[in-house]
């Protein structure tokens, strides 16, 4: 689908107002109380901040940090299971970054692999993602290395790119078309995609070449260097804080816990988890197969660039660079990948 249309800045404000009036939840990148930008519920488009990458990704809208799966209640010798709602309220995300939209689509693979994750897809179905072509990134961005781009449409329902007094709207999915059809007065004739070329080219130039090489080169080296001293070396500075996983758009591991609330009632919840902590792999016996940070640092790279590709034919990374920005110890994914590429192509070894 490659229909395009146009929305004026004023109509964008109006569209958000229309959605709110129709009872649709709207979220977008906006300032938080501590001055950062994060995806959050918004009341009006004026609050959307487009020139800074949101601190955390979109995944929280589909895989919340904690969510109840069901509640249980003991009744005599039986247990009653109380289900959570199977349908989620409608929501539109306005101002998603293309890398964050793509991440959600990448995660659809694992969420519908051996089992269809019902809460995930209930939220997916209820949510329309309106992405805005990225204005460009900093030195930690490398989306073009992993097959994406500042203006890629993957995972978006609509992709907007600025031109004139508004945005050229690319209709990516039928769900995006449905949004257009619901508010036809807000969209109209305007400049075509060509008018956004300079903007897109500039954005691409700002992220290109930060990680040379290809995901395939990285995958092959990672798969064949499980015991390489490189992993111990990069682990030195790692605190195992898991900040990288918290802000990562594609890290999706979770833990399931039963939380008793009274003697007879409780909730089964699923919560975010991360391979960067010792607890992630510790066995009931106390033995921990990933006994120190070396194995945990390797796991994060391994899962993203070797394990996921071998199962789903694509890397579990969108090149958003958040892990490098959040790391309190200056661990940088672009540096790690660049060194792997260098080692793989015979141009360097472990320092």
Partner 1 sequence: MTELRELARRLLSEGTVNAVLGWEEGPRGARPAFVTDAAGADRLIFDPRCVHNLAAYLSPRRPHLKQLGKVAIVLKPCDAKAVAGLIRETQVPRENVVLIGVRCGGVLADPESTEPLSEATVADRCRGCPDREAKLADHLVGTAGPGFPGPSHRAQKVEELAALPADQRWAFWQAEFEKCVRCHACRQVCPMCFCERCLADKTMPRWIESSPHNRGNFAWHVARAMHLAGRCVDCGECERVCPEGLPLGLLTRKVAQVVADRYDFRPTDDPAVPAPVGTYRMDDPQEFIL
Partner 2 sequence: MDATPADAANFEPRITAFVCNWCTYTGADLAGTSRLQMASNVRIIRLPCTGRIDPMFITKAFERGADGVIVSGCHPADCHYTAGNYHARRRFAIFRELAGFLGVDPGRITFSWVSASEGAKWRDVVNDTVTRVRALGPFTNFRRMVADPATVSAPSTEVK
* Chain residues that interact with partner 1, rule: CB under 8 A: 32-34, 36, 55-56, 65-66, 139-140, 232, 235-237, 239-243, 245-247, 255, 257, 259, 269, 271-272, 274, 277-279, 291-294, 324-326, 328-332, 334-335
d(CA 201, CA 74): 61
- On the CB side of 292, CA atoms within 13 Å amount to 8
Can you state the percent helix, strand and coil of the chain, rounding each to 5? 40, 20, 40
Q: For residue 90, give the nearest of 195, 179, 208 by alpha carbon.
A: 179
Shortest gap between Cβ of 64 and partner 1 (angstroms)?
9
Q: Which does 52 bind (CB under 5 to 8 A by kind): partner 1, partner 2, none?
A: none
Shortest gap between Cβ of 62 and partner 2 (angstroms)?
16
Q: 242: helix, coil or strand?
A: coil
N-term to C-term CA, the chain? 49
Shortest gap between Cβ of 231 and partner 1 (angstroms)?
10
Q: Which does 236 bind (CB under 5 to 8 A by kind): partner 2, partner 1, none?
A: partner 1
Q: Which of 77, 310, 313, 347 binds partner 2 (CB under 8 A)?
A: 77
Q: For residue 307, give the nearest of 251, 248, 237 by alpha carbon.
A: 251
268 near partner 2, rule: CB under 8 A = no
Q: Which of 34, 78, 114, 227 binds partner 2 (CB under 8 A)?
A: 78
70 near partner 2, rule: CB under 8 A = yes
Q: Which is nearer to partner 1, 165 or 255 (CB)?
A: 255
Q: Which does 65 bind (CB under 5 to 8 A by kind): partner 1, partner 2, none?
A: partner 1
Q: What tokens appear for 334 in the block?
A: 């672009």
**Where do the DSSP E strands lie in 164-298?**
166-171, 254-260, 265-272
267 near partner 2, rule: CB under 8 A = yes
Q: 94: helix, coil or strand?
A: strand
> From the centroid of its chain, how far is CA 150?
14
Q: 73: helix, coil or strand?
A: strand
- On the CB side of 165, CA atoms within 13 Å amount to 7
Q: Which of 2, 34, 86, 185 binds partner 2 (CB under 8 A)?
A: 86
| Residue 26 bridge partners (DSSP) | 92
Contact 135, 198 (CB under 8 A): no
Q: Which does 291 bind (CB under 5 to 8 A by kind): partner 2, partner 1, none?
A: partner 1
Q: Which does 51 bind (CB under 5 to 8 A by kind): partner 1, partner 2, none?
A: none
Instruction: Look at the block and give the residue holding tokens 């016996």.
Output: 285
73 near partner 2, rule: CB under 8 A = yes
Q: Which does 75 bind (CB under 5 to 8 A by kind): partner 1, partner 2, none?
A: partner 2
Scanning 43-51, 72-80, 187-195, 337-345 for contacts with partner 2 by CB under 8 A, the matching segment is: 72-80
Q: Residue numbers of the site for partner 2 (CB under 8 A)?
A: 68, 70-71, 73, 75, 77-86, 261-262, 267
């Amino acid at each position: 689908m490659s229909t395009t249309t146009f929305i004026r800045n004023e109509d964008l404000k109006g569209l958000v107002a229309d959605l709110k009036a129709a009872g649709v939840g709207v979220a977008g990148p906006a300032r938080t109380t501590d001055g950062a930008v994060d995806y959050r519920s918004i009341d009006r488009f004026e609050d959307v901040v487009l020139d800074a990458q949101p601190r955390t990704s979109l995944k929280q809208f589909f895989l919340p940090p904690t969510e109840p799966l069901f509640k249980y209640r003991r009744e005599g010798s039986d247990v009653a299971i109380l289900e959570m709602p199977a349908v989620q309220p409608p929501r539109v995300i306005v101002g998603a970054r293309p890398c964050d939209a793509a991440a959600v689509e990448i995660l659809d693979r694992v969420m519908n692999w051996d089992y269809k994750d019902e809460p995930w897809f209930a939220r997916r179905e209820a949510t329309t993602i309106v992405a805005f072509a990225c204005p460009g990134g900093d030195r930690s961005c490398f989306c073009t290395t992993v097959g994406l781009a500042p203006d890629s449409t993957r995972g978006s329902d609509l992709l907007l790119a600025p031109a004139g007094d508004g945005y050229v709207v690319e209709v990516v999915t039928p769900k995006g078309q449905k949004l257009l059809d619901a508010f036809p007065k807000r969209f109209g004739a305007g400049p075509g995609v060509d008018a956004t070329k300079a903007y897109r080219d500039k954005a691409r130039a700002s992220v290109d070449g930060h990680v040379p090489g290809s995901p395939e080169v990285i995958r092959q080296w990672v798969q064949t260097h499980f015991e390489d001293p490189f992993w111990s070396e990069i682990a030195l500075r790692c605190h195992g804080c898991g900040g990288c996983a918290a802000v990562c758009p594609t890290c999706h591991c979770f833990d399931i816990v039963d939380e008793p609330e009274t003697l007879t009632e409780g909730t089964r919840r699923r919560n975010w988890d991360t391979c960067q902590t010792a607890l992630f792999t510790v066995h009931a016996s106390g033995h921990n197969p990933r006994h120190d940070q070396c194995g945990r640092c390797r796991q994060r790279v391994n899962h993203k660039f070797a394990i996921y590709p071998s199962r789903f034919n694509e890397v579990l990374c969108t090149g958003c660079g958040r892990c490098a920005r959040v790391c309190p110890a200056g661990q940088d994914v672009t540096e790690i990948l660049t060194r792997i590429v260098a080692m793989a192509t015979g141009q360097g070894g472990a320092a």
